Amino acid sequence: MPRNETVKELLRTNDVVLLSFLEARLKGEGIEPFILDMNASIVEGSIGILPRRLMVIDEDFDRAEVIAKIALKESGEAPPDEPGAVGE
Q: Using a CB cutoff of 8 Å and minimum separation of 24, what contacts does 29-33 make?
A: 29/63, 29/67, 31/56, 31/60, 31/63, 31/64, 31/67, 32/1, 32/56, 32/57, 32/60, 33/64
Please give the domain boundaries of the chain with CATH numbers for all domains.
Answer: 7-75 (3.30.70.790)
**pTM reported for the whole predicted model:** 0.76
Per-residue pLDDT of the chain (88 residues; tens, 9 = 90+): 556 689 999 999 888 899 999 999 999 999 999 999 877 756 666 666 788 899 999 999 999 999 999 988 888 876 655 445 565 5
